[in-house]
Chains A and B, each alone.
Chain A
Amino acid sequence: MLAKQIYKDKTILSNCKLTMTTTPMSTDTSLPPLKIYTIDDPPLITEPESFIEIGKFDATRPIAIDFGSYNIRAGYTGFEFPYFDFPARLTRHRDRKMSKTFTFIGNNTRLDQTVRSQSKTPFDGNIVTNWDYVEDILEYTFHHLGVKPNNGIPNPLVINERLACLQSQRKNWYQMVFETFNLEQVAFGVDSLFAFYANNPTGVADGIIVNCSNEETDVIPVVKGKGILTECKRINWGGRHSAEFLSSILTLKYPYFPSKLSSFQYEYMYHNFCYTAGNYTKEIETLLSLPSLEDQNIVVEVPFTEILHPKKTEEELKRQAEKRKETGKRLQEQAKQRRMEKLVQKTEEYEYFSRVRDSLADQPKKNILSVLQNAGFDDEADFKKYMYNLEKSLKRAQILEADEHDEHDETENKFELVDVPDQELNEEQIKEKRKQRFLKASFDARIKAKEEKARIAKLEEEARIKDQEWRESSLSTWIKDKRGKLGALIKKRKDKLKLRDEMKDRKSQVAQNRMKNLANLAEDSPRQKRSRHQASIDNDPNDTFGANDDDWQVYNDITANPEAFDELLEDEYKEIVELEGKLLEYDPNFTEEDTLDAQYDWRNSVYHLFLRGPRPHDSEDPHQQHQMHLNVERIRVPEILFEPTIGGQDQAGIAELCETIVTKKFDSKPSKISDVALNMCKNVWLTGGNAQIPNMKQRIVNEFTSFLPSGTPIGVHMSENPSLDAWKGMSKFAQSEEAFKEAVITKKEYEEFGSEYIKEHKLGNFKYFEESARL
């Protein structure tokens, strides 16, 4: 529902863009919007775990528990499905008001947000580390199963063990079932062998089990229904690792993602959007091309609360603009007033000192110096310098004034007082005269500036006409010239960008040369030619620095003044666009695609396609800020099972392990594969929750085809719900009396043989050691 709403919003948004933006983007918005998946935490469940009525099943019916690290499946044997299937999680929740601690287990942890987020697993990797949790979970399971207790559990039990589990783990399990729960009969077995048994109930089939569980992945050969654990191999990578890997590559891909995702969300993405590549190396070659990305790219969006800015009415906007204008005007006027006052002061000063200069013109030097020193100058030079600067600043101010008055011409100005000698005027008039004189000067300057402008405009017009004539007379040479110019400009721009990049890198050639130059210049005594003639830095004939204009680039420090550099780039860019515009208009061979903008097109950028998918990116759009694109990740993560080195596991992948079993073990040679091995190839079983990643089966078929001689029959199977296989196998196993009897360990046996006792059977673990020949 929400996703639909968002989808709708997107359409509206992109339609808006269609009308708003111009040129290069307008073609993009014609593309249909992508489907967006909203990724939220999984919803809470509403129904607590149910109970089976106590004593509904009698005490002779065996119970089967598949104690997995992801989910626990439990139920009475003889049914097709386990009665309970809940996550192996537990939360201890302290109720402060009642000062009691409640324990929530399995599905009950999913009823409340806080309880769920605080839930923990008894496992650390594939090993149980918290046995208190296991005890509570088992008690909870028996309680819900409605077992009629009798200082313990009277029913027989089938339970799973890890493949080649640790001695300490087995010891704890024995203690748990025989001592704590007081069970009489327990059969231990390996879950993946049970899973195989569930699908090959005759119990004599050959095959290979590929068990993809949450914590590990195993490849186990089976001969005549018996797991050959001496040849089995374990890859230390499971579904949990994959989900975590996805989480780390996505946080690296989007380092500034605005919200933090929970592990549930990454798990959701892994389960729903990842799939096994049929051939990874081939698929990554084409995955990021536009057409394939169109269906492979998945956009996920994290829910967020959008901040809506209330839209202002037109009237309000108008009023605001007016207000701003007024204050601006006032400030400008104030500034002008101040400038005027300063100018008047300066002109007065200038006049005074010019009179002083005139009066000093034919006086002896001594006199001049004393007068000047009285006025506060060091010497004549200082005075001259002061006058020069004053003159300059006056001129500058006049030009500035001229520019400002450009609009409102005041030709009416009269400067009647200017030519009247001072003696004829009173004090007021003298002041007025000074002002007028200044105004007259600025008026003259204005006229001059205007003339200059007109001249430039005329020149430009002439150039334009000339250009047009040239174009009309011989288009080809015109195009050639313009293209050459454009090429040169683009090259210049590229060089500039490169220079900027290299300047950033302290070790680059450019930066080092620059340092060398600066060091040479800073050196007091250029060592080289000193002996020949006393050359200072000013008259060293060997120092040609500065002769070439480019030398001065040394001081043009890009990193120190990035704004100026950016401006320069911007100007150049404008020039390029202008030239391109002309070429677009008149050169039939110059199309949109040849422009500089098109060459920076996102369509050509692998990085853009990887990061933002097959659409342009708008960083202002809050929806797009909260979106991630899954493309290569979708196959990169499941690929780890076939190449564990991608995930940092220095191990062979599933396919290679299968290949070794089929072509090198069981009397096989790569040249001749034995009958047993050929039988195995016909009966490969995928099991475990992680096998549900789409296309896994096809990939295994592909791999087997690649290492087997052509035409060899291959059969790869997977049940409808491979995560239930193990429990179903247990259930079937307990129903078959003979097999069960063979595997069961009684309490008496445990008491007699101790915790190191292993009863080997078809579906169980082997002993740790075997005795070889006597010495």
Chain B
Amino acid sequence: MSADARLEYLRTIATPNIIDVPSPFKSKKGQLKKKVNRRNKASRQLIADELKRINLILQPPEENEQQQSTATTPSSTTSSSPSTTTTTTITTEYKKLTPKVTYFNINAPPSMKPPKKYCDITGLNGPYTSPTNNIRYHNSEIYQIIVKPMVPGTDQEYLKLRGANFVLK
């Protein structure tokens, strides 16, 4: 297919999918607003944010209180009796929260069984470990051919498969 014919073809596919602006499928209100360019956060960032959020909620009230009180102490150091009364009221109203189902507590725990050792190269059982680079291997032949002459970068590639590589931070 020539480049022009291809372009023409792509246009014919795309045309029926074009939807008018403003789109009838969407709320008018939403479309009137200027479209702000959302910044896409990576999933790792989103997970970290969630952890922060949960920890903040789970923080015991005393800590919250302390933070508040340290912020206010310079002005109200002398009047101690009213502040104590307020804290007691807050603690009585506070319901202790425990996590029920969160992204983190449904994460499967580490295995309780001793991990089996497999050859990093072949996937067969790997009873031996190379003393120089920690590669597990199946037999002397694999050691002679692969493990012994292995260059430093490659051993890390192999170790990375089972998450045993060095990570520089």
CB within 8 Å of B: which residues of A?
48, 51, 93, 95, 97-98, 102-105, 108, 111-112, 115, 124-127, 129-132, 139-140, 142-143, 147, 149-153, 163-169, 179-182, 218-219, 229-230, 232-236, 245, 248-249, 252-253, 255, 281, 284-285, 287-288, 605-607, 610, 632-633, 636, 643-653, 656-657, 765-775
Contact = CB atoms under 8 A, between A and B. Distances in A.
Nearest to A633: B123
A146 B30 CA distance: 22
B100 interface: yes
Interface string B127-168: 000000000001101100110000000100110111110000
A651 B110 contact: yes
Interface in B61-113: 91-92, 94-103, 105-113
10 contacts: A108-B13, A108-B17, A111-B9, A168-B49, A179-B30, A249-B161, A606-B141, A607-B142, A633-B123, A648-B161
B67 to A, nearest CB: 19
B113 to A, nearest CB: 7
A657 B107 CA distance: 11
B112 A652 contact: yes
Closest 9 CB pairs of A and B: A648-B163, A182-B27, A102-B14, A636-B123, A149-B24, A127-B43, A766-B101, A769-B97, A124-B43
Nearest to B102: A768
Given A151-B27, A610-B122, A775-B92, A650 B98 contact: no
Nearest to B27: A182
Interface residues of B, number: 75
B90 to A, nearest CB: 11
Given A165-B103, A645-B115, A647-B163, 7 more contacts: A93-B14, A98-B11, A104-B13, A115-B10, A140-B17, A644-B108, A771-B96
A166 B104 CA distance: 10
Nearest to A654: B108
Which of A105, A164, A235, A771 has the most C-beta atoms of chain B within 10 angstroms of its own C-beta? A164
Given A108-B13, A249-B161, A768-B54, A234 B98 contact: no
A359 to B, nearest CB: 67
Interface string B31-74: 00000001011110011011001100110000000000000000
B88 to A, nearest CB: 11
Given A130-B40, A232-B106, A112 B9 contact: yes
Contacts of B169: none
Interface string B1-18: 000001101110110111
B2 to A, nearest CB: 13
B51 to A, nearest CB: 10
Given A235-B108, A606-B122, A166 B47 contact: yes
A236 to B, nearest CB: 7
Contacts of A646: 118, 161-162
Contact of B112 (A139, A656, A771): A656
Q: Which of B17, B58, B98, B115 has the most C-beta atoms of chain A within 10 angstroms of its own C-beta?
A: B17
B55 to A, nearest CB: 12
Contact of A163 (B46, B94, B106, B116): B106
Contacts of A105: 17
A214 to B, nearest CB: 14
Contacts of A108: 13-14, 17
A105 B16 CA distance: 12
A164 B24 contact: no
Nearest to B107: A234
B19 A180 contact: no
Interface of B: 6-7, 9-11, 13-14, 16-19, 23-30, 38, 40-43, 46-47, 49-50, 53-54, 57-58, 91-92, 94-103, 105-113, 115-116, 118, 121-125, 138-139, 141-142, 145-146, 154, 157-158, 160-164
B11 A650 contact: no
A130 B38 CA distance: 8
A236 B107 contact: yes
Contacts of B14: 93, 102-104, 108
Count chain A CB atoms within 10 A of each CB in B16, B111, B139, B161 and give the residue with the most.
B111
B97 A771 contact: yes
Contact of A768 (B23, B101, B158): B101
The binding surface of chain A is classed by DSSP as: mixed
Q: Which of B46, B50, B57, B116 has the most CB of A within 10 A?
A: B46
A139 B98 contact: no
A103 B15 CA distance: 10
Contact of B26 (A93, A139, A648): A139
B102 A51 contact: no
A189 to B, nearest CB: 14
A644 B107 CA distance: 13
Contacts of B46: 127, 129, 166, 168-169
A43 to B, nearest CB: 15
B98 A770 contact: yes
A418 B102 CA distance: 113
A151 B141 CA distance: 70
Instruction: Give the most central of B18, B23, B27, B122: most A CB within 10 Å.
Output: B122
A166 to B, nearest CB: 5
Most chain A CB inside 10 Å of its own CB: which residue of B47, B101, B111: B101
A445 to B, nearest CB: 50
A771 B94 CA distance: 10
Contact of A632 (B92, B116, B124): B124
A774 B106 CA distance: 25
Contacts of B142: 606-607
B123 to A, nearest CB: 4
Contact of A252 (B113, B116, B141, B154): B154
B116 A166 contact: no
Contacts of B43: 124-127, 129
B98 A102 contact: no
Nearest to B58: A769
B30 A288 contact: no
B116 to A, nearest CB: 7
B109 A651 contact: yes
Nearest to A126: B43
Contacts of A218: 106
Given A93-B10, A234-B106, A653 B111 contact: yes
Contacts of B28: 151
B26 A181 contact: yes
A95 B113 contact: no
Given A131-B38, A285-B125, A775-B96, A139 B106 contact: no
A115 B53 CA distance: 39
A105 B13 CA distance: 11
Contacts of B105: 164
B26 A180 contact: yes
Nearest to B159: A648
